[in-house]
């Protein structure tokens, strides 16, 4: 099942090399009710729309035929709920049109936006007859205005069809399908004044809308530019003629204040431009398809510094890779404001080829917002744009150049559960550097936490949030509570940015390379950096566990069996990146028919006197700083010829858990030998002064990192217990 696990003890390949091709989470956290705070209501499903109401301390959650108001700091606490069910007449009509009564002819909440007056704008599919309404939260109750507003062009008809929407200054921008059949894709602005895309395949061709974002580009703009709305989607390409139907990922954008043209493009966008976005995954020939995007901005910096993180999956079923690529907003914006256009050129009678347009470009620039340059020409709104400019953008909405990812390659590539959603948070680690931590939801109900450390992809953990495994449909983040909220068909979950307590030893805490967590030597706990006043041990880029103090040795557990008996010595592996090694009387055990090494245990079959002795299980984990081995378990095995009893498999798991927690995992300094005196001196030092970890980094960087030394071991060997 697990590629690294199946290689078991024989796995000796350098981790870094493997990670390039297939990034394995360091830890997999199986489902447990403690993994997340949960919400779900009996009889209600499809929790896939969310709105943060930080002003009201609420998470507003849209599901099938219901909206919930949950407490923002603990979503298990429901504050209010309201139903929005379809009437029997509507179900009948929907059924008559050939839709399924139990699934399609329901009201799936699809749009939830906050209005300036505090109300919420809500739309639902409403049995294939989309409708919108206004929702108020007052005196602990949710109530609809019952406005019965037509949802066509705002909300999808089909609950299975993807859509995107955003509300800017009470104006709704929506990308969805206009008709019952789902065959008329549009990007609209509902107010002030309804504006939409042209029905032309060169504008939108069988698109799958993914996400929308707004950029305050008018702020301090020297060009007197307008704000823009960006739309991420994938669609059937017009520009490639080598494939029958090739899907490409796209970004399109429109100007917020676009009013359409006077004659040409009347009530249509005069600023709709689109281009291809590129996420080159290994050597895939077919472009990967975008599935979600997340806008990350540093609010202290201008919008050009914002970054779009996007998830990509293959368009063929032949691969199970998913990837994350990041794009700078300034790169995206430049393609539209400065790039060349593509133009269709007829080839023969029935075929057109899209090539770069090298002719004269009209003024004002086609697709540009009304800016100072246009105003100088006496054009103050899009209605005054000349026909030449409008005709150009109507015919050529596609830019020639694709947007390339930052660094030219994906931040993360992973084989396994398909990525569905992403959010990104920036954190300052103990080294003073800021890192973007990616939280990626999957088809299998898990959340990955990953960081790209200077080009090295690293997945800290994969946590199972929903059981049974099911796709995560939405993920949002509140910078007020610092919590992540996820929704699936069966419920919603809330998780913090970090659960440092999952690491119970210093070595595990440091090798986890979680920028939120560090080891507190005083309390002997892995804790949140942000909640601690002390200096903590952390080494995110190197994973240098030699910074850890020497842990207490593991207490050996005594076991005995009769000759011919069987024994199971368990040794739970702390992470997927470890290589487990067994030693008998300090000699490394290799596979033999009677001594079988499993990923989490050693089985001794048909015991003989020669099997008695000291057994130790070491887990060896490699990081950039070297290899670190920790004693996970220690056994004193005796084979007793007088024992005639119990024939069964003797299994010890209880004492083991104890020894694990007593010992923690011991650090191995990446030196070949540590003198006993140095260790004693270090212990003495540690008791009085907190650990100055930076000094230790410097000291270790000069040492030979390729050798394994098991520090705790020397204590046991020499019989010194501190
Ligand atoms: C969240 O709320 C639930 C239900 O009231 C409660 O059982 C749980 O202890 C709360 N959890 C936290 C972390 O506050
Ligand atoms: C709604 O949830 C059910 C499972 O409860 C699932 O089978 C169905 O596909 C979901 N519908 C949509 C439109 O997501
Ligand atoms: C949280 O995000 C909002 C925008 O979504 C921003 O205006 C605000 O400054 C952020 N707050 C913090 C504490 O970062």
Of 403, 419, 443, which one is at a domain's C-terminal end? 403
Residue-by-residue DSSP string for 403-423: BPPGGGS-SEEEESSPEEEEE
Residues 543 and 646 in one domain: no
Q: Which of 71-80, 332-341, 584-593 has the lowest mean pLDDT?
A: 584-593
Q: Which of 78-92, 217-231, 664-678 has the lowest mean pLDDT?
A: 664-678
Q: What is the CA(181)–ligand 2 centre distance, in A?
A: 20
- The structural domain count of the chain equals 3
Residues 377 and 323 in one domain: yes
The candidate with the shortest Cα–Cα distance to 216, out of 303, 298, 133, 148, is 303
- Asked if residue 618 is part of any domain, the answer here is yes
Residues 296 and 181 in one domain: yes
Q: What is the CA(76)–ligand 1 centre distance, in A?
A: 6
pLDDT-derived band at 676 (thresholds 50, 70, 90) equals very low
Percentage of the residues of the chain whose pLDDT score is greater than 70:
85
Name the residue at shortest CA distance from atom 3 of ligand 3: 479
pLDDT for the residue 492: 98
Residues whose CB is less than 8 angstroms from the CB of residue 282 and which lie 6 or more positions away in sequence, other chains included = 21, 321, 413
- CATH number for position 508: 3.30.1680.10
- Asked if residue 61 is part of any domain, the answer here is no
- Asked if residue 413 is part of any domain, the answer here is no
CB atoms within 10 A of CB 628: 30
pLDDT-derived band at 18 (thresholds 50, 70, 90) equals very low
Q: What is the CA(201)–ligand 3 centre distance, in A?
A: 39
Q: Is the C-beta atom of 74 inside 6 A of ligand 1?
A: yes
Of 403, 438, 470, which one is at a domain's C-terminal end? 403
Q: Which atom of ligand 1 is nearest to the CA of 74?
A: 1
Q: Is the C-beta atom of 77 inside 6 A of ligand 1?
A: yes
Average of pLDDT values for 643-658?
Answer: 46
Q: What is the CA(74)–ligand 3 centre distance, in A?
A: 20
Q: What is the pLDDT of residues 400-445, one digit of tens each?
A: 999 999 999 999 999 999 999 999 999 999 999 999 999 999 999 9
Average of pLDDT values for 465-489?
Answer: 97
- Asked if residue 118 is part of any domain, the answer here is no
Q: What is the pLDDT of residues 480-494, one digit of tens each?
A: 999 999 999 999 999
Of 623, 638, 660, which one is at a domain's C-terminal end? 660
Q: Is the C-beta atom of 159 inside 6 A of ligand 2?
A: yes
pLDDT-derived band at 22 (thresholds 50, 70, 90) equals low
Whether the pLDDT of residue 705 is over 50: the answer is no
* Three-class secondary structure of residue 492 per DSSP: strand
pLDDT-derived band at 594 (thresholds 50, 70, 90) equals confident
Whether the pLDDT of residue 313 is over 50: the answer is yes
Residues 519 and 619 in one domain: no
- Asked if residue 703 is part of any domain, the answer here is no
Name the residue at shortest CA distance from atom 11 of ligand 2: 46
Residues 525 and 580 in one domain: no
Give the binding-site residues of ligand 3, using a 6 Å CB cut-off: 299, 479
Whether the pLDDT of residue 670 is over 50: the answer is no
On whether the CB atoms of residues 693 and 537 are closer than 8 A, the answer is: yes
The candidate with the shortest Cα–Cα distance to 583, out of 532, 635, 661, is 635
pLDDT for the residue 667: 33
Average of pLDDT values for 286-314?
Answer: 96
- Asked if residue 704 is part of any domain, the answer here is no
Domain that holds residue 502: 498-547
Whether the pLDDT of residue 652 is over 60: the answer is no
Residues 543 and 568 in one domain: no
Average of pLDDT values for 696-714?
Answer: 31
pLDDT-derived band at 640 (thresholds 50, 70, 90) equals confident
- CATH number for position 653: 2.60.40.10
Name the residue at shortest CA distance from atom 2 of ligand 1: 76
Residues 380 and 292 in one domain: yes
Residues 378 and 520 in one domain: no
Whether the pLDDT of residue 61 is over 60: the answer is yes
3-state SS record for 108-146: EEEEEEECCCCCEEEEECCCCCCEEEEEEEECCEEEECC
Average of pLDDT values for 575-585?
Answer: 90
Nearest ligand (C-alpha, residue 124): 2
> How many whole angstroms separate alpha carbon 601 and alpha carbon 8?
11
- Asked if residue 388 is part of any domain, the answer here is yes
Q: What is the CA(294)–ligand 2 centre distance, in A?
A: 24
Name the residue at shortest CA distance from atom 10 of ligand 1: 74
Q: What is the pLDDT of residues 267-277, one digit of tens each?
A: 999 999 999 99
Q: What is the pLDDT of residues 376-404, one digit of tens each?
A: 999 999 999 999 999 999 999 999 999 99
pLDDT for the residue 539: 96
Q: What is the pLDDT of residues 175-220, one digit of tens each?
A: 999 999 999 999 999 988 899 999 999 999 999 999 999 999 999 9
- CATH number for position 322: 2.130.10.10
Confidence (pTM): 0.85
Q: What is the CA(438)–ligand 3 centre distance, in A?
A: 18
Query: Cα 619 vs. chain centroid, distance in angstroms?
Result: 29
Beta bridge partners of 412: 324
pLDDT, the chain, mean: 86
Q: What is the CA(46)–ligand 2 centre distance, in A?
A: 6
Residues 529 and 590 in one domain: no
pLDDT-derived band at 648 (thresholds 50, 70, 90) equals very low
Residues 523 and 622 in one domain: no
pLDDT for the residue 694: 25
Residues 514 and 378 in one domain: no
The candidate with the shortest Cα–Cα distance to 185, out of 153, 211, 213, is 153
pLDDT for the residue 644: 61
Residues 587 and 503 in one domain: no
- Asked if residue 287 is part of any domain, the answer here is yes
Q: Which atom of ligand 3 is nearest to the CA of 299?
A: 9
Where is pLDDT greater, at 718 or 156? Answer: 156
């Amino acid at each position: 099942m697990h590629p690294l696990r199946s290689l078991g003890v024989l796995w000796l390949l350098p981790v870094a090399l493997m990670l390039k091709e297939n990034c394995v989470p360091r830890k997999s956290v199986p489902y447990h009710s403690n993994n997340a705070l949960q919400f779900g209501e009996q009889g209600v499903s499809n929790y896939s729309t969310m709105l943060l109401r930080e002003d009201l301390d609420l998470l507003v959650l849209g599901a099938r035929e219901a909206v919930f108001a949950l407490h923002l700091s603990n979503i298990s606490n429901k504050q209010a709920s309201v139903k929005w069910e379809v009437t029997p007449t509507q179900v009948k009509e929907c059924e008559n049109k050939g839709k399924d009564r139990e699934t399609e002819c329901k009201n799936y909440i699809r749009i939830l936006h906050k209005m300036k007056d505090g109300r919420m704008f809500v739309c639902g599919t409403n049995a294939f007859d989309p409708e919108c309404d206004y929702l108020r939260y007052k005196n602990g109750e949710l109530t609809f205005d019952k406005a019965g507003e037509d949802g066509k062009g705002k909300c999808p008809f089909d609950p299975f069809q993807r859509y995107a929407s955003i509300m800017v200054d009470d104006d709704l921008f929506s990308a969805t399908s206009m008709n019952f059949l789902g065959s008329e894709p549009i990007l609209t602005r509902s107010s002030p004044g309804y504006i939409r895309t042209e029905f032309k395949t060169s504008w939108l061709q069988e698109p799958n809308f993914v996400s929308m974002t707004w950029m305050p580009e008018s702020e301090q703009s020297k060009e007197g530019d307008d704000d823009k709305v960006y739309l991420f989607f994938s669609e059937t390409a017009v520009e490639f003629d080598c494939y029958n139907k090739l899907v490409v990922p796209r970004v399109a954008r429109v100007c917020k204040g676009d009013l359409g043209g006077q004659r040409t493009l009347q009530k249509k966008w005069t600023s709709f431009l689109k281009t291809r976005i590129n996420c080159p995954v290994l050597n895939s020939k077919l472009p990967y398809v975008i599935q979600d995007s997340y806008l990350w901005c540093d609010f202290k910096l201008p919008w050009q510094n914002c970054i779009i993180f996007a998830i990509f999956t293959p368009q063929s079923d032949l691969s199970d890779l998913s990837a994350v690529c990041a794009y700078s907003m300034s790169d995206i914006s430049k393609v539209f404001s400065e790039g060349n256009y593509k133009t269709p050129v007829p080839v023969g009678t029935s075929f057109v080829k899209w090539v770069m347009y090298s002719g004269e470009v009209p003024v004002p620039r086609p697709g540009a917002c009304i800016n100072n340059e246009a105003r100088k020409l006496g054009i103050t709104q899009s209605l005054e744009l000349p026909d030449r400019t409008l005709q150009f953008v109507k015919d050529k909405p596609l830019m020639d150049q694709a947007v390339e990812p930052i660094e030219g390659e994906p931040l993360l590539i992973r084989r396994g559960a398909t990525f569905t959603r992403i959010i990104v948070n920036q954190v300052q680690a103990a080294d003073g550097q800021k890192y973007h931590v990616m939280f990626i939801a999957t088809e299998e109900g898990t959340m990955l936490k990953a960081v790209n450390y200077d080009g090295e992809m690293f997945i800290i953990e994969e946590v199972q949030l929903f059981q049974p495994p099911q796709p995560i449909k939405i993920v949002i983040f509140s910078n007020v509570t610092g919590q992540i909220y996820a929704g699936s068909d069966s419920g919603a979950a809330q998780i913090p940015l970090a659960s440092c307590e999952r690491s119970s030893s210093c070595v595990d805490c440091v090798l986890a390379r979680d920028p939120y967590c560090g080891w507190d030597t005083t309390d002997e706990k892995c804790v949140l950096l942000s909640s601690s006043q002390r200096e903590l041990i952390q080494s995110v880029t190197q994973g240098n566990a030699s910074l850890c103090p020497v842990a207490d040795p593991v207490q050996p557990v005594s076991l005995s069996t009769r000759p011919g008996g069987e024994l199971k010595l368990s040794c739970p592996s702390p992470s997927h990146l470890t290589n487990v090694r067994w030693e008998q009387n300090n000699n490394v055990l290799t596979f033999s028919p009677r001594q079988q090494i499993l990923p989490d245990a050693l089985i001794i079959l048909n015991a003989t006197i020669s099997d008695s002795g000291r057994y130790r299980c070491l887990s060896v984990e490699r990081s950039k700083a070297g290899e670190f081995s920790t004693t996970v378990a220690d056994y004193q095995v005796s084979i007793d010829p007088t024992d005639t009893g119990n024939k069964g498999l003797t299994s010890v798991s209880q004492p083991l858990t104890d020894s694990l927690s007593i010992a923690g995992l011991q650090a191995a300094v990446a030196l070949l030998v540590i003198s006993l005196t140095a260790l004693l001196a270090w212990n003495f030092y540690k008791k009085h002064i907190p650990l100055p970890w930076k000094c230790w980094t410097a000291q270790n960087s000069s040492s030979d990192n390729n050798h394994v030394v098991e520090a705790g071991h020397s204590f046991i060997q020499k019989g010194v217990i501190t």
